[in-house]
């Protein structure tokens, strides 16, 4: 489950971002669109890449969408993070949308490429129409931390996409996703590497939710060690005043002949017979920790679609990969997580779209 070196598209995008003027950090950021430049395809499509020379932290972004002609605009940023879902505007209509973004270094996976300093945004979509853009510091904004593996992380290269990469579109201004998930990590390595949980722990403030989904790479972790590691993560989050949430792993698309996923490969039972989802469910109960049973939710969705249609959720066609999700799969799974955040009151209703 180590990261795949698919950085060609990212390099092309970074080249276009370098051409955009920088907004200075010594005054208001982005009072207009003068910090944006057309991407390689932007002259034909209207897509813009914008760069803001700001320090790590949380920032509110407000965009005014629309104009004289009909449009359809989406905003992405940093390492392929979806920040604002595709938003349609009729001819002559304008709408204002705001969100909060987490800026950090490195900007994507903690052990991955450093990316570019500051905040990078892409104003894209099927027919981008943006008439105003403003970026302002939001130091008091909450952060929703993600601790996970390659199925959660901000994947650097298309077509790989983690569900955490698509989660920000479900949040409004006032809370940002801080995705510290990293490819190839287990409960063992996430605790052992100071660039991983130690970094998250130091940044947690009282009230910040911390979602933990680690299982795919605990292939040889025994049950007692797995429980102890998750317990340590939960207790350390609580010691900082954060709100730990245990998340069972997304299923692998591995069908039985009867069209079900009722097998150890699909349901993340490791080589030692450790049933990861069952361990997480039991531990959530004993520790009194909120649980998002993403295994059950994704199993239901994959089985509903069936062996053929469910290929679109994973990288089965492109990579013969039934573990990692496509943009569509990550988008659907992020929506499942967002629905659980709402249903369980993990994120206050006013902060959810």
Give the 3-state DSSP-derived string for the chain, with helices as H, strands as E and coil as C: CCCCCCCHHHHHHHHHHHCCCEECCCCCECCCCCCEEECCCHHHHCCEEEEECCCCEEEEEEEEEECCCCEEEEEEECCCEEEEEEEEECCCCEEEEEEEEEECCCCCCCCCCCCCCCEEEEEEEEECCEEEEEEEECCCCEEEEEEECCCCCCCCCCCCCCHHHHHHHHECCCEEEEECCCCCCCHHHHHHCHHHHHHHHHHCCCCCEEEEECCCCCCCCCHHHHHHHHHHHHHHHHHCCCEEEEECCCCCCCCCCCCCCCCCCCCCECCCCCEHHHHHHHHHHHHCCCEECHHHHHHHHHHHHHHHHHHHHEEHHHHCEEEEECHHHHHHHHHHHHHHHHHCCCCCHHHEC
Q: Per the structure block, which two tokens stand in for 249?
A: 């792993």
| Percent share of the chain, pLDDT over 70 | 91
Work out the pLDDT band at 43, boundaries 50, 70, 90.
confident
User: How high is the pLDDT of residue 38?
Assistant: 93
Res 12 pLDDT > 80? no
User: How high is the pLDDT of residue 42?
Assistant: 84
Mean per-residue pLDDT for 82-87? 98
Q: Per the structure block, which two tokens stand in for 131?
A: 């008439």
Mean per-residue pLDDT for 81-88? 98
Res 29 pLDDT > 60? no
Please name the residues in contact with 134: beta carbons below 8 A apart, sequence gap of 6 or more. 28, 29, 30, 31, 61, 62, 63
Res 73 pLDDT > 60? yes
Residue 170 backbone phi and psi in degrees, to 5: -95, 0
Q: What is the pLDDT of residues 236-251, one digit of tens each?
A: 999 999 999 999 999 9
Mean per-residue pLDDT for 223-248? 98
Mean per-residue pLDDT for 78-94? 97
Cβ atoms of 152 and 179 within 8 Å: the answer is yes
Count Cβ neighbours within 10 Å for each residue of 118-139 and write b for 16 or more, e otherwise: bbbbbbbbebbbbbebbbeebe
User: How high is the pLDDT of residue 264?
Assistant: 98
Res 224 pLDDT > 50? yes
Residue whose C-alpha is closest to residue 57's, from 123, 97, 102, 88: 102
Work out the pLDDT band at 27, boundaries 50, 70, 90.
very low
Mean pLDDT of the chain: 92
Res 7 pLDDT > 50? no
Res 14 pLDDT > 70? no
User: How high is the pLDDT of residue 41?
Assistant: 85
Mean per-residue pLDDT for 325-329? 98
Res 254 pLDDT > 90? yes
CA distance 147 to 177: 11
Q: Is 309 exposed, middle or buried (0-12, 13-18, 19+ CB in 10 A)?
A: exposed
Mean per-residue pLDDT for 290-301? 98
Neighbours of 224 (CB within 10 A): 9
CA distance 315 to 312: 7
Residue whose C-alpha is closest to residue 138's, from 78, 98, 189: 98
Work out the pLDDT band at 18, boundaries 50, 70, 90.
very low
pTM of the model: 0.91
CA distance 241 to 236: 9
Res 21 pLDDT > 60? no
Work out the pLDDT band at 19, boundaries 50, 70, 90.
very low
User: How high is the pLDDT of residue 44?
Assistant: 86
Mean per-residue pLDDT for 156-165? 97
Q: Per the structure block, which two tokens stand in for 145?
A: 């931390």
Res 80 pLDDT > 80? yes
Residue whose C-alpha is closest to residue 215's, from 145, 270, 165: 270
Q: Is the dihedral of CA 294, 343, 176, 89 positive or negative?
A: positive
Work out the pLDDT band at 31, boundaries 50, 70, 90.
low
Calculated CA dihedral for residues 120, 125, 131, 132, nearest 10 degrees = -30
| Percent share of the chain, pLDDT over 90 | 88
- Looking up tokens 């700001």 gives 54
Res 198 pLDDT > 60? yes
Mean per-residue pLDDT for 49-63? 96
Work out the pLDDT band at 34, boundaries 50, 70, 90.
confident
User: How high is the pLDDT of residue 163?
Assistant: 98
């Amino acid at each position: 489950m180590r990261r795949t070196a698919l950085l060609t598209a990212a390099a092309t995008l970074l080249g276009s971002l370098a051409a955009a003027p920088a907004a200075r950090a010594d005054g208001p950021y982005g009072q207009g669109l003068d910090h944006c430049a057309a991407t390689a395809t932007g002259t034909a499509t209207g897509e813009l890449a914008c760069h803001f020379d700001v320090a790590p932290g949380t920032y509110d972004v407000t965009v005014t969408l629309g104009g004289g002609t009909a449009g359809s605009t989406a905003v992405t940023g940093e390492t392929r993070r979806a920040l604002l879902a595709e938003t349609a505007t009729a001819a002559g209509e304008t709408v204002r949308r705001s969100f909060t973004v987490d800026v950090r270094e490195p900007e994507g996976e903690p052990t991955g490429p450093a990316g570019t300093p500051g905040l990078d945004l892409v104003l894209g979509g099927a027919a981008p129409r943006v008439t105003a853009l403003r970026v302002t510091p939001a130091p008091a904004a909450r952060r929703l931390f993600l601790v996970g593996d390659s199925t959660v992380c901000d994947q650097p290269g298309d077509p790989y996409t983690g569900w955490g990469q698509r989660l920000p579109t479900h949040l409004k201004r006032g809370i940002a996703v801080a995705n510290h998930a990293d490819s190839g990590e287990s409960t063992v390595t996430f605790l052992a590497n100071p660039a991983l949980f130690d970094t998250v722990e130091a940044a947690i403030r009282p009230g910040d939710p911390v979602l933990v989904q680690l299982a795919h790479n605990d292939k040889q972790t025994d049950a007692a060690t797995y429980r102890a590691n998750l317990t340590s993560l939960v207790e350390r989050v609580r010691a900082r005043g954060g709100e730990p949430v245990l998340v069972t792993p997304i299923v692998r698309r591995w069908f039985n002949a009867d069209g079900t996923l009722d097998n150890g490969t699909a349901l993340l039972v490791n080589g030692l017979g450790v049933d990861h989802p069952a361990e997480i469910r039991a531990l959530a109960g004993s520790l009194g920790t909120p649980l998002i049973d993403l295994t059950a939710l994704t199993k239901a969705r994959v089985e509903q679609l069936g062996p053929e249609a469910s290929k679109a959720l994973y990288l089965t066609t492109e990579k013969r990969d039934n573990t990692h999700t496509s943009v569509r799969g990550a988008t659907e799974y992020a929506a499942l997580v967002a629905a659980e955040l709402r249903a369980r009151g993990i994120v206050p209703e006013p902060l959810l779209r």
